């Protein structure tokens, strides 16, 4: 087993998928997601949720479609 530790130095993406709040809308691009060594998935946006807290389920964040800002 080899463990590689690293960090991102830069990210390049189209500005049309970046919301004003920094949210990246992956479903707007042709994105492939990797899971493990040989698993691949397509992306489908299902919603945004607030942070989970012990004893409470996360709640849905309503977002303004035009600027990705929570309402």
Task: Give tens-digit pLDDT for 18-53.
Answer: 888 888 888 888 888 888 889 999 888 888 888 888
Helix H, strand E, coil C: the string for the chain is CCCCCCCCCCCCCCHHHECCCCCECHHHCCCEEEECCCEEEECCCCCCECCCECCECCCECCECCCCCCEC
- Backbone φ, ψ for residue 15 (5° rounding): -65, -20
Identify the band that residue 68 occupies on the pLDDT scale cut at 50, 70 and 90: low
| Predicted pLDDT of residue 45 | 86
pLDDT tens for 54-65 read 988 888 888 765
| Predicted pLDDT of residue 7 | 92
44 Ramachandran zone, left/alpha/beta (phi>0; psi -120 to 50): beta
Identify the band that residue 9 occupies on the pLDDT scale cut at 50, 70 and 90: very high
């Amino acid at each position: 087993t080899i463990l590689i530790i690293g960090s991102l130095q830069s990210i390049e993406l189209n500005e049309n998928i970046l919301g004003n709040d920094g949210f990246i809308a992956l479903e707007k691009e042709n994105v492939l997601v990797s899971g493990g060594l040989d698993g691949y998935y397509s992306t489908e946006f299902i919603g945004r949720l607030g942070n989970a807290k012990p004893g409470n389920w996360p709640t849905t964040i309503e977002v303004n479609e035009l600027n990705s800002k929570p309402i």
